[in-house]
Amino acid sequence: MSQYPELKNRVAVITGAGRQAGLGEAMAKRLAAEGCKVIITDIGSAQGDHLPESAIGSTNEMQTIVDEIKALGGEATSFVCNVLSADDVKAAAQFAVDTYGRLDIWVNNAGIGYLMKPILEMAVDEWDSVLNVNLRGTFLGIKFAAEKMVELGVAGKIINIGSQASKSAFSHASAYTTSKHGMNGLTRVAAQELGQHNINVNQICPNHVTTGLGAWQNSHFSEVTGKGKEKYMQEMRERIPLGRPGSQEDTANACAFLCSDQASYITGECMNVSGGEEYH
């Protein structure tokens, strides 16, 4: 049963949603369950050293997610989009309108969370890749989604996917933390500027979620801290008041709420979804 019936037939674009078991997939399926028509976007194929096949949503995975949504009675399609390309992002917004006649929701989910090194070891091109995908990509999504929403006269919802790193600093994550802190400011400025057009702009800040990327982070930080995976995960659970890491569904539920009419007076928020771990 739909929790937010007003979302039926609204059109949602979700970037970086082509990886199975990822946050993007979970949000796409949650919005589709509410009756949204969902467009799954991702880069589709590996591009260079910093966007390897293991870290991107392939065209095959994108189609699998679309097929699974349809099998559950939802409406979905896919579109290959590199969020570093202004032309691609603009085309994704136009594709939504050409395909479904409108654009109501845009979720900036695409990001790099796997280039994690100490500052002294991080290459400049690695830093640039993280900042460009996580921050430039979000800027382009806001810009071109909002342009289309204003053109159509839609009271739209733009959701940016931040992180606990949007609020707190983490060793070995200088570029990632910087990009997610920057997203806070971008979210708030966009909310101020776009409020006159009845467009809400908010950000979701999950703590650790064991997606495919999250599993890599578990292994990576277990190793670099020398704690071993079992101890690392136990310490994580102990510092979270609710006693567990986040799930994909936690973020997806927050996304659905912020897209609903119940959140129509909420904008410029960077909302923690962290089981009480993050209070800022």
Judgement on whether residues 98 and 48 belong to the same structural domain of the protein: yes
Judgement on whether residues 261 and 232 belong to the same structural domain of the protein: no
CATH classification at residue 28: 3.40.50.720
Burial class (CB in 10 A: 0-12, 13-18, 19+), 86: middle
The total number of residues shown for the chain amounts to 280
- Residue 262: predicted pLDDT: 98
Judgement on whether residues 194 and 216 belong to the same structural domain of the protein: no
- Residue 46: predicted pLDDT: 94
The pLDDT tens digits for 47-85 are: 998 999 888 999 999 999 999 999 999 999 999 999 999
Q: What is the pLDDT averaged over residues 250-269?
A: 98
Judgement on whether residues 121 and 233 belong to the same structural domain of the protein: no
Judgement on whether residues 96 and 224 belong to the same structural domain of the protein: no
Q: What is the pLDDT averaged over residues 168-192?
A: 97
> Does residue 274 sit within a domain?
no
The yes-or-no verdict on residue 280 having pLDDT over 90 is no
- Rounded CA-CA distance 183/74 in Å is 31
Judgement on whether residues 215 and 205 belong to the same structural domain of the protein: no
Judgement on whether residues 241 and 252 belong to the same structural domain of the protein: no
> Does residue 167 sit within a domain?
yes
> Does residue 135 sit within a domain?
yes
The yes-or-no verdict on residue 211 having pLDDT over 80 is no
Note down the domain range covering 217. 210-245
Judgement on whether residues 19 and 52 belong to the same structural domain of the protein: yes
* Domain tally, the chain: 2
CA-based R_g, the chain, Å: 18
> Does residue 276 sit within a domain?
no
167 tagged catalytic:
no
- Rounded CA-CA distance 272/274 in Å is 6
Q: Tell me the C-alpha to C-alpha distance, in Å, between residue 265 and each of 19, 34, 146, 196.
A: 32, 20, 18, 13
> Does residue 113 sit within a domain?
yes
The yes-or-no verdict on residue 213 having pLDDT over 70 is no
The pLDDT tens digits for 19-31 are: 999 999 999 999 9
Q: Tell me the C-alpha to C-alpha distance, in Å, between residue 1 and each of 8, 11, 161, 256.
A: 12, 19, 26, 14
Judgement on whether residues 204 and 228 belong to the same structural domain of the protein: no
What is the pTM for the complete model shown? 0.94
Judgement on whether residues 232 and 173 belong to the same structural domain of the protein: no
Judgement on whether residues 107 and 92 belong to the same structural domain of the protein: yes
Catalytic residue among 29, 157, 167, 176: 176
Catalytic residue among 180, 229, 265, 279: 180
Judgement on whether residues 66 and 101 belong to the same structural domain of the protein: yes
265 tagged catalytic:
no
